[in-house]
Amino acid sequence: MDINPTIFKSYDVRGIYPQDLNEQNIVPIIKAIYAYLKPATLVVGTDMRVSSPSLTKVALGTLVELGAKVIDVGVLSTPTFYFSVDHYGYDAGIQITASHNPKEWNGIKIVKKGPSGLIKIGKSTGLEEIKEMALKGKSLPLTGGGTVVKKNGILKDEVENSLKIAGNPQISKFKIVADAANAMGSQYLEALFKNIPVELIRMNFTLDGTFPVHQPDPLQKETLVDLQKKVISEKADFGLAPDGDGDRLFFIDERGKIVAPTIITSIVAKELLKKNPGERILIDIRYILTPKKIIEESGGKMVITKVGHAYITQAMNKTVGIFAGESSAHYYFRQTGNAESPMPVILIILKVLTETGKTLSQLAEEYRGSFESGEINFKVINGQEIIQEAKNKYRDGRIDTLDGVAVAYPNWRFLLRTSNTEPLLRLTVESYDQSVMEEKRDELTALIKSFTKL
């Protein structure tokens, strides 16, 4: 069975249906996953994409032929899937999803239980081995006799766990607009807001794998325009925009402005450190100035990680950190197995708004410690060459090569790294001074373009 090797990405399996991933070639992939994991219990979940039911059916059938004990958690978000694996003590899990990708795509996210939390299977944690096994057709014997057991009530337990993480806060009445993009985030938002005093204004909550309104990718700012307008017209306290599988969540303040994920990270970190002083807070290397100030002032220890959810979860396991925030709006908690969990983030933001009486825009200004460029992407084939040129030009700064090259000066810094999933070079710049950020952003952009090869 032909398998396109490029569908094995840095963090998961992902390709266009049916040319890259289909009902035929998913079989050797599932066999390889099971042979690699050798789990006593295996959770299987899925999203709402048009191709997901048939792919999931084949996956379940293949696992039964392999003799697996399968827990079928049905259609749910990726955070709820992660929660189910961790909370109930299962050995591993696979989620049929392509996250925020367009409707033509589908894929598989893989996770296993580790000694101090979940381990996401990516390039550095087993996916290369699974790839080789799938391409070579290696598998365990088909013994038959596998079982599939349905698991219900997961969302109820996840809401209770989220309330516990947030300290079961007293929350005032709020009006919130949420645009779920016809994707999985609508599920946990509905479940959460049934338990707290929130007036929820719903946008695109019907599950529809064709994404009739817009792609479920809040990193594309054009997908947020309608939500921003709705927040203003409804005079809402803020807006929420989860991505396709619900593991990323963006906040829009009451003025319709996007709140930087580093600010959300800082607010959550400060609240957690109040009751857990000295704990480690993890952030990715793209932007560090805003959270660094808050974490240090709050008595925490900041740990910088590579970009990407598999790397961050890996670092969470290693450092036993209490919380991690990624600048692409992934948020991770030790109490959810080191996996993404948007619900406690929402609750903590509501708690702080209740206790301070401030608006989200006021909080954002209070917590913002730097000005950020946003991620700027360049399509190139010579990314490493450009990184070396930047490293040479800015060699008088403090250089960090954890992920690409990061260079820091007293009042500004930048990161230049190649994408883990696309032929792109990614630039981020931050400074304590907005004009300096803009000047250095333009300076680096000109440098990159002068050396770009397409």
**Domains defined for the chain, CATH in brackets:** 5-153 (3.40.120.10), 173-257 (3.40.120.10), 261-347 (3.40.120.10), 371-451 (3.30.310.50)
443, 373 in Cβ contact below 8 A? no
Cβ partners under 8 Å of residue 302, min gap 6:
280, 281, 282, 283, 288, 291, 292, 295, 296
Catalytic pick among 52, 84, 99, 328: 99
Is 54 among the catalytic positions?
A: no
Instruction: Kindly report whether the global pTM for this prediction surpasses the value 0.95.
Output: yes
CA distances from 251 to 16, 51, 361 (A): 30, 30, 10
Tokens of 58: 């084949």
Coil vs helix vs strand at 252: strand
| Residue 14: strand pairing partners | 107
Please answer whether residues 71 and 149 qualify as being in contact, where contact means their C-beta atoms are separated by less than 8 angstroms: yes
SS3 331: strand
In tens digits, the chain (454 residues) has pLDDT values of 689 999 999 899 999 999 999 999 999 999 999 999 999 999 999 999 999 999 999 999 999 999 999 999 999 999 999 999 999 999 999 999 999 999 999 999 999 999 999 999 999 899 999 999 999 999 999 999 999 999 999 999 999 999 999 999 999 999 999 999 999 999 999 999 999 999 999 999 999 999 999 999 999 999 999 999 999 999 999 999 999 999 999 999 999 999 999 999 999 999 999 999 999 999 999 999 999 999 999 999 999 999 988 899 999 999 999 999 999 999 999 999 999 999 999 999 999 999 999 999 999 999 999 999 999 999 999 999 999 999 999 999 999 999 999 999 999 999 999 987 678 999 999 999 999 999 999 999 999 999 988 7
Q: Is 334 helix (H, G, I), strand (E, B) or coil?
A: helix
**Rounded to an integer, what distance in angstroms lies between the CA atom of residue 224 and that of residue 179?**
8
Which conformational region is residue 195 in: left (phi greater than 0), alpha (psi within -120 to 50 degrees), or beta?
alpha
- Which residue type is seen at 199? E
Coil, strand, or helix at residue 418?
Answer: strand
Query: Residue 168 has which token pair?
Result: 């079961």
